[in-house]
């Protein structure tokens, strides 16, 4: 009885199982989205790899990339992937404080990643004369890295929205699925960044 | 009673603190290894590329199993199949583009 009230009234026993099944199907749907996103990034990577030597007299990767900033970005994003995992862990313990705390830390880390990246882009355009229209290499570079940065920014807005919703509704079957899904998304972005770091930056300066 | 039943139902796909810490440590390690190799020019060109790619793929695997819990949860089999299918398309696009642009250019 108390259970029925606390769960917004409308789901009892087998109904609850049914809803759970529905939520897990939605999580699977999100996996499919991630795989299509993977293919999008794959195409951008292929474009970059094919074009990265066509610098048209403009700056080359070796002249352009400043590794200290890139290394900082990489470790910040790796850490945020870990903290978003800790948020999920807190959620499964039913610990609201831990869940929201770790989500906020993840947002802050993600925001500093985006900040560093924007700073890097602005420096390239203003001080090195390396804009998106300078060469095929830079078009491919800004498209690939910018698409990843855009994904991270969308993730940030999404995560802030979710924190607000969690405060209002608490940990329910639906918000549980939402937290699980955004943490999948965040780990996925980390994976994409690892390949950006390896293929674009490390291979660019070696 | 039904509450505790559904809870045990939900408790399948989230790993433990230990697995997250191991995953995090491994991913840091797998970032530092290629970084050191590149910054100190420790290996030749081919060696460096191999190190970079191998550590990147291992990182991917670490994230999949330690953080994204690919093998746990009710849909694990489906996730795995969708992933393999996606990777086949991905490899076709990337490897195919590189191959055709490097070796098959008729134009010049």
pLDDT mean over A65-86: 94
Q: How many CB atoms lie within 10 A of CB A10?
A: 9
Q: Is the pLDDT of residue A74 over 70?
A: yes
Percent of chain B with pLDDT over 70: 83
Contact by Cβ (8 Å): A7, A17: no
Contact by Cβ (8 Å): B72, B15: yes
Quote the pLDDT of residue A88.
Answer: 92
Alpha carbon B39 to its chain's center: 23
Q: Please report how many Cα atoms fall inside a 13 Å half-sphere around the Cα of residue A104, on the Cβ side.
A: 10
Q: Do A50 and B97 touch (CB under 8 A)?
A: yes
Q: What is the pTM of this model?
A: 0.86
Which of the given ranges, A18-27, A196-205, B12-21, B35-44, has the highest pLDDT on average? A196-205
Q: Do B89 and A16 touch (CB under 8 A)?
A: no
| Distance between CA atoms of residues A93 and A78, nearest Å | 23
| Distance between CA atoms of residues B95 and B98, nearest Å | 5
Could you tell me the maximum CA-CA distance found in chain A, to the nearest angstrom? 74
Q: How many CB atoms lie within 10 A of CB A147?
A: 15
Tokens of B23: 């995953």
Q: Is the pLDDT of residue A100 over 50?
A: yes
Contact by Cβ (8 Å): A196, A144: yes
| Distance between CA atoms of residues A111 and A50, nearest Å | 31
Residues 6 or more apart in contact with residue B103 via CB below 8 angstroms: none
| Distance between CA atoms of residues A54 and B6, nearest Å | 58
Instruction: List pLDDT tens digits, range A129-172.
Output: 899 999 999 999 999 999 999 999 999 999 999 999 999 999 99
Q: Where are the alpha helices (DSSP H) in A60-172?
A: 61-64, 67-92, 96-127, 136-169
Query: In chain B, what are the domain boundaries?
Result: 1-72, 74-108
Instruction: List pLDDT tens digits, range B72-83.
Output: 777 788 888 989
Q: Is the pLDDT of residue A174 over 70?
A: yes
Q: Minimal Cα distance from B57: which residue of A?
A: A195
Interface test with B, best of A7, A13, A42, A181 (most B CBs within 10 A): A42
Average pLDDT over all residues of chain A: 89
Quote the pLDDT of residue A8.
Answer: 45
The whole-angstrom distance between B17's CA and the closest CA on chain A is: 7
Q: Is the pLDDT of residue A95 over 70?
A: yes
Quote the pLDDT of residue A25.
Answer: 85
Q: pLDDT band at B105, cuts 50/70/90?
A: low
> Which helix (DSSP H) or strand (DSSP E) does residue A198 occupy?
none
| Distance between CA atoms of residues A105 and A87, nearest Å | 9
Q: Is the pLDDT of residue A82 over 50?
A: yes
Quote the pLDDT of residue A13.
Answer: 56
Q: pLDDT band at A182, cuts 50/70/90?
A: very high
Please state the three-class secondary structure of B12-60 as a single string. Answer: CCCCCHHHHHHHHHHHHHHHHHHHHHHHCCCCCHHHHHHHHHHHHHHHH
Using a CB-CB cut-off of 8 Å, the residues of chain B touching A78 are 24, 27-28, 31
Contact by Cβ (8 Å): A87, A99: yes
């Amino acid at each position: 009885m108390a259970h029925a009230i606390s769960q917004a009234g409308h789901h009892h026993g087998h109904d609850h199982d049914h809803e759970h099944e529905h939520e897990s199907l939605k999580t699977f749907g999100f996996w499919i989205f991630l795989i299509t996103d993977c293919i999008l990034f794959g195409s951008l990577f292929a474009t970059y790899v094919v074009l990265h030597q066509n610098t048209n007299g403009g700056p080359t990767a070796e002249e352009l990339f400043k590794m200290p900033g890139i290394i900082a970005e990489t470790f910040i994003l790796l850490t945020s992937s870990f903290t978003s995992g800790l948020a999920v862990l807190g959620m499964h313990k039913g610990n609201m404080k831990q869940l929201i705390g770790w989500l906020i830390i993840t947002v802050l880390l993600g925001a500093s990643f985006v900040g560093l990246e924007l700073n890097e882009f602005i420096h390239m355009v203003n001080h090195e004369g390396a804009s998106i229209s300078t060469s095929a290499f830079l078009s491919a570079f800004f498209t690939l890295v910018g698409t990843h940065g855009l994904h991270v920014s969308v993730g940030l807005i999404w995560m802030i929205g979710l924190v607000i919703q969690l405060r209002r509704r608490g940990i329910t079957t639906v918000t549980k699925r939402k937290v699980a899904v955004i943490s999948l998304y965040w780990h996925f972005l980390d994976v994409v960044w690892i390949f950006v770091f390896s293929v674009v930056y490390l291979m660019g300066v070696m | 009673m039904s509450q505790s039943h559904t809870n045990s139902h939900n408790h399948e796909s989230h790993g433990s603190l230990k697995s997250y810490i191991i995953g995090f440590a491994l991913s840091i390690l797998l970032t530092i290894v290629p970084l050191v190799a590149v910054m100190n020019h420790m290996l030749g060109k081919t060696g460096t590329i191999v190190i970079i790619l191998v550590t990147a793929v291992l990182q991917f695997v670490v994230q999949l199993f330690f953080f994204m819990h690919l093998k746990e949860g009710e849909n694990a089999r489906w996730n795995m199949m969708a992933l393999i299918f996606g990777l086949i398309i991905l490899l076709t696009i990337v490897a195919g583009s590189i191959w055709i642009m490097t070796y098959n250019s008729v134009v010049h």
